[in-house]
Amino acid sequence: MSINYADKIPNNVELASNKTLQRALEHWQPGYLDWWGEMGPEGSPNYDVYLRTAISVDAKGWAHFDYVRMPDYRWGIFLAAPEKDRKVNFGAHKGEAAWQEVPGEYRSTLRRIIVTQGDTEPASVEQQRHLGLTCPSLYDLRNLFQVNVEEGRHLWAMVYLLHAYFGRDGREEGEALLARRSGDADNPRILTAFNEKTPDWLSFFMFTFITDRDGKFQLAALAESGFDPLSRTCRFMLTEEAHHMFVGESGVGRIIQRTCEAMKEHRIDDPAKLRAMGVIDLPTLQRYLNFHFSVTSDLYGSEVSSNAASSYTNGLKGRFDETRIDDDHRLEGAEYPVMEVIGDRILTKHVAGLTALNERLRDDWVADVQAGIDRWNRIPAKYGVDFRFKLPHKGFHRRIGAFAEHHVSPEGAVLSEADWTSKHREWLPNEQDRAYIQSLMGRVVEPGRFANWIAAPHQGINKQPVNFEYVRFN
Amino acid sequence: MTRTAELLRQHLIDPEICIRCNTCEETCPIDAITHDSRNYVVLADKCNSCGDCLAPCPTGAIDSWRRVAAPYTLEQQFGWDALPVDDSGDGVVAEVPDEVTQLTAVANQGQGGLLPPPWSAAHPYVGLYTLARPATATVSGNLRLTAEGAESDIRHIVLDFGSMAFPVLEGQSLGVIAPGADANGKPHHLRLYSVASPRNGERPGYNNVALTVKRVTADREGNPVRGVASNYVCDLKKGDKLLVAGPYGASYLMPNHPGSNIIMICTGTGAAPMRAMTERRHRRMALKEGGKLLLFFGARTPGELPYFGPLQKLPKELIDVQLAFSRVPGKPREYVQDRMRASGATVARLTADENTYVYICGHKQMEQGVEDAFTDLCSSHGTDWTGLRAQLRAAGRYHVETY
C-alpha cells in the first residue's frame, strides 16, 4: 500500500492505470491549487513548515515529518488497505459483498452524502485562513497548518470518489466544491456551522475540539458504508482527523492551565482581574464551549429523520462502531429515546430506532465530547481551582430539530422569549467576550515563546523540543 | 531506584495527554489496546512492543513506558487520571538503553520472561552510567583463564573504578563501550558482561570488579568472525582505560537471608555470576549463616573450564562442585544435566525447600537439557517440574540468563 509520489498526484489507488480518471483529476488539480492560493492560509506561500505527510497508509509510513513549503505539500489520494472479503454489515443488504461500484439506485443519495462531507473540508480551511497572523506560538502555527493541509487532503479524498464513481455529475460537484465559499452570501458552504467565522484562536481550538469531532463521528459512520471505496477513504481520513482533535483539546487545555496558574499564583478568581492580567477567565471559556457545542450539535440534523433511516437501511451510512454493536444491524423493532418539547417541559419519547439514527450519532458524539470535558476538568482540580466545565443541555441554542422553535437554558429549562433575551448573554460569548479575546490575539513567532494566555504544551511534535523551529518564514 | 528497574518495560498510555481518538486501537495489529469510558490502555500480556501505534498517535500519549516489577493491571490503568510517578530512581535517573533491555529480554527467555528478584536480594543500582555519560575504568589485571593449549581464550579482566562509585551486585552486568564505529559509521553496540566478583570488590575493600570474557572468534555457525567488544576487552593491557555503562540487572540477584540455598548451573563464561555469588558466600563463611551451594558446571575439557584451579580449592563445606566435561579424550561425553541427574536426590530435596534459589547461565543450547533433567528428577521424586517451576518463577527463585 505504498504511495506513488512519482505521479503528479500522489496516490495509492493505481491512478496511472486509469488514464481517464487521472486526466480528470489532473484537470481539477490546478483549480484546487488556485483555490488554496486564494483561500488557504493567508501569507503562507513562502513558509517551510514542519509537517506530517503520509508516505504510505500503513502504521509505519503515514506519519513522515519534514519541512514542507506549503503550496508544495503533496496532496493526494490515499485509501486504507482493503479488508479482505468485506461485507455490507448492516441494513437490508447485510451479508452481501461490499460494493466496489456505486449501486445505481443509491447514486444520488451517495453523491449527496459525499458532497456534504467534502464541502466541510475546504470550508474549515477558509474559516481558519487568517489565524496564522495571530498565532500564539510557532508550535501552534504549525499545528494550524497541519490541520489545514489535511483538510485540503480530505477534500481530495472526496473529490476522488466523485470523479471515480460519479462521472460527469461527480466532476461538476468537484468544481462546485471549489466555488462555494464559507460565509459567502451568494454561494455559501452547505452546512451552517461551516459558515460561522473562526475569528480567533480560542474559536479555532473549540472548533477543532468539538466540530472536528463531529467530523470524526460522521467519518466513522461513513467508514461503515457498504460502498467500499467510501469506507476505505474515510478510514484513512479518521487517522488524520485525530490530530485535529488533539490540537483542539490540548489547545483549550493549555488555556485552562494558564488561567489556573494565574488564579493560584495571585489568588484571584474575579474574571475582570484575570482579564487585566491577560488570561482568559474560565466562565468565558464555558461560554465559548456552549456556543460551539450547540452549533455543532445542529450538524447531526433532526432527531427523527427518514433520510437517516433510508441511508442506514440501504447500507450507505452505518452507526458509530457499527460492527462492534451486538444487535441485528437492521434495527427491526428497535426503539431509541429522543427528546421533545411539550409546553414548558422537555419529555423523552421512544421512536423507531431506524428513524433516530441522527440522534444516536449525536449522543455518541456528546459522550465523546463529555470525556474530553472530563479531562479538561482535571486541570482546575489539579490546581485546586473550584470550577468545572459543563456541557449545556442538548436543547440549548439549537436551530435544527425538536428544539429549533424553543429556548432552552444550559440546565435544560424551557424559557420564554423574554427570559432568553435577558439571560443568553451569560451563556453565549457576548460582544465584550469576543472583543476581549480579539484583543489577546497578537503574534508570537519566537521559537519556544508562547502568548501569555496559553501554557506551553506538554511536549513537542514528533518528539521535537517545544522550542523547535516548527515554521521557517524565509 | 527500584530493584526492578528493568524487569519489565511496560507500555502505557498517558491519560493526561490521550484524547481517546482510537487511532492506536485501530492501528494495533494484534489488538493489544483497549479502552473503557475513561482511558485507553495497553494489554501488558499481549503487547509485543512492535511500535506500530507510536507514529500514528497524534498526541504522543502512546509513547509512555515504565519499568516495573509486576505490570500495572488493566483495572489500575483504567482508574488513572495521570501516569503513576516514575519512581525508578531515588533521585537518580535510571537510564537503561533499549538495547540492554532487548539483550536482557532475550537472555531471560528461558525463565519465561521477566521475574522478580529473591525477596532478600540487596537493593541494586541500575543505569547509573549511560552511553552518554559513561564511567571510566582502568584495567588493573588481564589473566588468561583457559589452559595455553585450549581452543578458547577466556580471560579474567579486573577493572578499577578509582574514586568513581560503581556499586554492583553479584548477578548484575555492566556494559562495555568499544571505541570506534562499525562499517556503517555507527557506534558499536553496547556489550553486556556479568560481573564475576562480589559486591565488595574483586579484592575486598577495593573499588574494582572482575569480568569473565571469552574472545569471540567464530559465530554460532562456526564461521570465523572477530567479536568487536570481546577482542577489545581481551586485548586490554594493565593501565588501559575503557568506558563502561551500567550497572544493569535487577532480577538475577542472589538471596541474602541466612539459610538460603543456591543451585547454580552454568557453562563457559556463564560461570561469572556463579563465581561472584560463591565468592560472596565464601567471604561470609565465618558468619555461619548456613545455606548450601550446589554448582553444576560444564565445559569441553578441564583446560577450558574457567576458574578450574580455584574451584578445586573451595572448602567442601561451602560448596558442592559438580563438573561435567564433554570432550575429554577417552571418556564419555558428560553434560551438566548428567551431573544433575546423578545428584537427583539432592536437587529434588533442595528445590522443594522454599529457601532454595536456582540460577542458570550459559549457552542457549544448555536450556533444554537442564529442563529435561529437572523434569526427570522431579518425576522420579514424585513432583511435577512444570508446576514447581511456575512456583519458583513467581517467587523469584528461578533465574535464567542464556545467550
DSSP 8-state class, residue A208 = I
Among B16, B37, B58, beta carbon nearest to A242: B58
Domains in chain A, ordered, with CATH? 15-472 (1.10.620.20)
Q: How far is CA A392 from CA A369, B205, B316, in A?
A: 11, 71, 81
Per-residue pLDDT reduced to its tens digit, A396-406: 999 999 999 99
Per-residue confidence band for A184, with pLDDT thresholds at 50, 70 and 90: very high
> Considering chain A, what is the average pLDDT of its residues?
93
DSSP A307-350: HHHHHHHTTSS--TTGGGS-S-SS-TT-EEEEEEEETTEEEEEE
pLDDT tens sequence for chain B (403 residues):
333 334 567 899 998 888 888 889 988 989 999 998 889 999 988 998 888 888 888 888 898 888 777 889 999 999 998 888 775 543 334 556 677 777 777 777 777 667 889 999 998 888 888 877 889 999 999 999 988 888 889 999 999 999 888 999 999 999 998 888 777 777 777 889 999 999 999 988 889 999 999 998 887 777 888 888 899 999 999 999 999 998 998 899 999 999 999 999 999 999 999 999 999 999 898 888 899 999 999 999 998 889 888 888 899 999 999 999 999 988 999 999 999 999 999 999 999 999 999 999 998 888 899 999 999 999 988 889 999 999 998 899 999 998 8
Asked if B16's CB is within 8 angstroms of A368's CB, the reply is no
B34 and chain A: CB distance < 8 Å anywhere? no
Residue with cell 553496540: B189
Q: What is the rounded distance in angstroms from the CA atom of residue B11 to the CA atom of residue B61?
A: 11
Q: Please give the share of chain A, as a percent, with pLDDT higher than 90.
A: 84
Per-residue pLDDT reduced to its tens digit, A278-309: 999 999 999 999 999 999 999 999 999 999 99
Cell of B49: 512492543
Torsion of CA A156, A162, A164, A169, to 10 degrees: -140
**Contact call for residues A349 and A340 (beta carbons, < 8 A):** yes
Average pLDDT for residues A448-472, to the nearest whole number? 92
DSSP B175-235: EEE-SSB-TTSPBPPPEEEEB-S-TTTTTTTSSEEEEEEEPP-B-TTS-B---HHHHHHHT
Contacts of A458 in chain B (CB under 8 A): 16-17, 60
pTM over 0.80: no
Q: What is the rounded distance in angstroms from the CA atom of residue A55 to the CA atom of residue A409?
A: 48
Per-residue pLDDT reduced to its tens digit, A51-69: 988 777 776 677 788 999 9
Where is A65: in which H helix or E strand? strand A64-69
- What pLDDT shows up at residue B1? 31
- What pLDDT shows up at residue A2? 64
Cell of B192: 553486556
Amino acid at B299: A
- What pLDDT shows up at residue A458? 85
Q: Which of B17, B21, B49 to mutate to test the interface with A (most CBs of A within 10 A)?
A: B21
Radius of gyration over every alpha carbon of chain A, rounded to an integer in angstroms:
23
Which span out of A184-188, A238-242, B223-227 was modeled with the highest average pLDDT?
A: A184-188
Q: Is the peptide bond before A122 cis (omega within 30 degrees of 0)?
A: no
**Contact call for residues B330 and B324 (beta carbons, < 8 A):** no
Q: What is the rounded distance in angstroms from the CA atom of residue A233 to the CA atom of residue B114?
A: 42
Interface confidence (ipTM) of the complex: 0.73
Question: Which residues of chain B from 60 to 89 reach within 8 Å of chain A, CB to CB?
Answer: 60, 63, 81-82
Domains in chain B, ordered, with CATH? 8-78 (3.30.70.20), 135-248 (2.40.30.10), 251-402 (3.40.50.80)
List beta partners, residue B193: B174
- What pLDDT shows up at residue A180? 97
Contacts of A241 in chain B (CB under 8 A): 21
Q: How far is CA A243 from CA A67, A151, A240, in A?
A: 18, 11, 6
- Burial (CB < 10 A; 0-12, 13-18, 19+), residue B89, is middle
DSSP 8-state class, residue A194 = G
Average pLDDT for residues A241-259, to the nearest whole number? 94
- Burial (CB < 10 A; 0-12, 13-18, 19+), residue A405, is exposed
Per-residue confidence band for A141, with pLDDT thresholds at 50, 70 and 90: very high
Contacts of A371 in chain B (CB under 8 A): 20, 37-38
